[in-house]
């Protein structure tokens, strides 16, 4: 068994490690109870497309909504045969920010649901946006900014981006406010985006230190509650404004995240690996088919046939041999030890899986 040197640069194999973050503002670590957005969705129609809309016969719902729209505008199309190519049925989605007031504007996203080829240059017709309770909170309309391009000819087609989806900046007017009286809250809960007992305790301590009294209390790893009466401030808004910029150094579990599609590996600062021995190699099986045509001699009886010809070969790559990765005390040594194996990122993912299965990887292992 040999011990590999721990000196190779880990960036060469696509290992990405987060830099030391240091203290983080509380507003970047938590969500405040009651301060949240609400999702909206609507079903509408995009017009003005340059022949890239839905095929009416393939998307009957487009014809239905178009007929209903024209009827509401006083145009009778009952029994008429129309097949426009510049119309597309779409879903319209938006997020209603917290404390949005009637008359405000929000951005919307428009996505085709039929067989439209592109929404480029289209205009969204007035579309009500509903919340989860079925109430209408906003109305969207406007010109779509599509993020893709389509170019095609008789024998070829090129698509860049996603032309069947687009956005309308400020494309919806808020028509109804969400009923919520923030000033009447007597307590507020802070929900940690990444639950951790140590981080929650640090948030509790820094808030109590700021107010000089027992204002905050850690309930669990993901929740810290605030007592509004103990702060002696005028409203919950003043309390949040005072504490949201306080800085806390967060903690989290050691974690390794891998993306098998791109070969990306992200390792947390606290990842540790016990001393292990690793051998890695590749087996390649190659089969080639080269069929041969056999014909009878001229003027002879018989028929032309195709005779199969198969060539099979198995190759074994030398691999890394049996190598030792010493138990590491910090992230740099872990990364250097793994990279010293001299394998590609996708092979590195398989090695990390095996190390985790052997119980030598002391971190949460996440595969995307």
> Is the domain of 77 the same as that of 45?
yes
Kindly state whether residue 244 falls inside one of the protein's structural domains. yes
242 lies in which domain range? 24-34+181-248
The Cα–Cα gap between 189 and 204 comes to 12
pLDDT, tens digit, 9 for 90 and up, residues 314-359 = 565 565 555 566 666 566 676 776 677 677 777 778 888 888 888 8
Percent residues over pLDDT 70 in the chain? 77
Domain boundary among 151, 174, 197: 174
pLDDT exceeds cutoff 70 at 166 = yes
pLDDT exceeds cutoff 60 at 149 = yes
Residue 187's domain is classified under what CATH number?
A: 3.30.70
Looking at residue 21, its pLDDT comes to 55
Which letter does DSSP use for residue 113 in this model? Answer: -
Q: 9-13, 149-153, 350-354 — which is least confidently predicted?
A: 9-13
Its pTM stands at 0.63
> Is the domain of 15 the same as that of 29?
no
> Is the domain of 95 the same as that of 170?
yes
> Is the domain of 268 the same as that of 191?
no
Looking at residue 339, its pLDDT comes to 72
> Is the domain of 42 the same as that of 166?
yes
The Cα–Cα gap between 1 and 278 comes to 10
Kindly state whether residue 124 falls inside one of the protein's structural domains. yes
Cβ-contact 273, 334 below 8 angstroms: yes
> Is the domain of 79 the same as that of 126?
yes
> Is the domain of 150 the same as that of 52?
yes
Q: Between 358 and 42, where is the model more confident?
A: 42
Kindly state whether residue 304 falls inside one of the protein's structural domains. no
pLDDT, tens digit, 9 for 90 and up, residues 65-123 = 777 777 777 777 665 666 677 888 899 999 999 888 888 999 999 999 888 888 888 99
Kindly state whether residue 162 falls inside one of the protein's structural domains. yes
> Is the domain of 117 the same as that of 222?
no
Q: 19-33, 210-224, 278-292 — which is least confidently predicted?
A: 278-292
Kindly state whether residue 310 falls inside one of the protein's structural domains. no
Looking at residue 14, its pLDDT comes to 41
Nearest 10 degrees: CA dihedral of 193, 168, 91, 85?
-150
Domain count for the chain: 3
> Is the domain of 14 the same as that of 76?
no
> Is the domain of 337 the same as that of 274?
yes
Q: Between 93 and 149, where is the model more confident?
A: 93
Q: Between 53 and 193, where is the model more confident?
A: 193
CA proximity to 341, closest of 1, 3, 18:
3
> Is the domain of 87 the same as that of 154?
yes
Looking at residue 366, its pLDDT comes to 84
> Is the domain of 83 the same as that of 43?
yes
What are the Cα distances from residue 249, in Å, to 149, 196, 199, 213, 289? Answer: 45, 12, 7, 21, 62
Q: Between 366 and 142, where is the model more confident?
A: 142
Percent residues over pLDDT 90 in the chain? 23
Handedness of CA 65, 71, 74, 75 (dihedral sign): positive
pLDDT exceeds cutoff 50 at 23 = yes
Looking at residue 282, its pLDDT comes to 60
pLDDT, tens digit, 9 for 90 and up, residues 257-299 = 888 777 788 887 788 888 777 776 665 556 666 777 777 777 7
Query: Can you tell me the mean pLDDT for 132-157?
Result: 81
For 165, residues 6+ apart whose C-beta sits below 8 A from its C-beta are 109, 110, 111, 112, 119, 146, 147, 148
């Amino acid at each position: 068994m040999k011990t590999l040197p721990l000196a190779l640069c880990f960036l060469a194999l696509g290992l990405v490690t987060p830099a030391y973050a240091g203290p983080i503002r509380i507003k970047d670590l938590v969500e405040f109870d009651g301060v949240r957005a609400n999702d909206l969705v609507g079903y509408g129609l995009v017009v003005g497309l340059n022949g890239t809309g839905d095929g009416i016969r393939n998307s009957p719902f487009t014809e239905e909504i178009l007929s209903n729209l024209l009827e509401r505008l006083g145009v009778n199309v009952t029994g008429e045969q129309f097949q426009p190519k510049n119309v597309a049925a779409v879903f319209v989605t938006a997020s209603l920010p917290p404390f949005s007031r009637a008359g405000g504007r929000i951005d919307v996203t428009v996505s085709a649901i039929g067989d439209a080829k592109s929404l480029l240059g289209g205009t969204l017709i007035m579309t009500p946006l509903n919340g989860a309770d079925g109430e209408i909170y906003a109305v969207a309309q406007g010109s779509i900014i599509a993020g893709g391009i389509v170019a095609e000819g008789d024998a070829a087609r090129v698509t860049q981006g996603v032309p069947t989806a687009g956005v309308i900046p400020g494309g919806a007017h808020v028509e109804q406010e969400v009923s919520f009286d923030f000033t009447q809250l007597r307590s507020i809960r802070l929900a940690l985006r990444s639950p951790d007992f140590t981080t929650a305790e640090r948030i509790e301590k820094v808030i109590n230190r700021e107010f000089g009294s027992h204002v905050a209390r850690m309930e669990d790893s993901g929740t810290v509650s605030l007592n509004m009466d103990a702060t002696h401030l005028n409203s919950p808004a003043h309390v949040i404004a005072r504490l949201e910029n306080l800085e806390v150094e967060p903690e989290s579990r050691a974690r390794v995240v891998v993306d098998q599609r791109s070969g990306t590996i992200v390792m947390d600062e606290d990842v540790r690996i016990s001393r292990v021995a690793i051998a890695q190699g590749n087996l390649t099986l190659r089969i080639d088919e080269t069929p041969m045509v056999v014909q009878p001699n001229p003027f002879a009886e018989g028929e032309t046939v195709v005779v199969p010809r198969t060539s099979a070969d198995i190759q074994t790559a030398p691999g890394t041999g049996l190598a030792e990765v010493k138990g590491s005390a910090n992230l740099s040594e872990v990364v250097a030890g793994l990279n010293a194996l001299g394998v590609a990122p996708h092979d590195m993912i398989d090695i990390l899986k095996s190390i985790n299965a052997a119980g030598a990887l002391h971190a949460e292992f996440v595969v995307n």
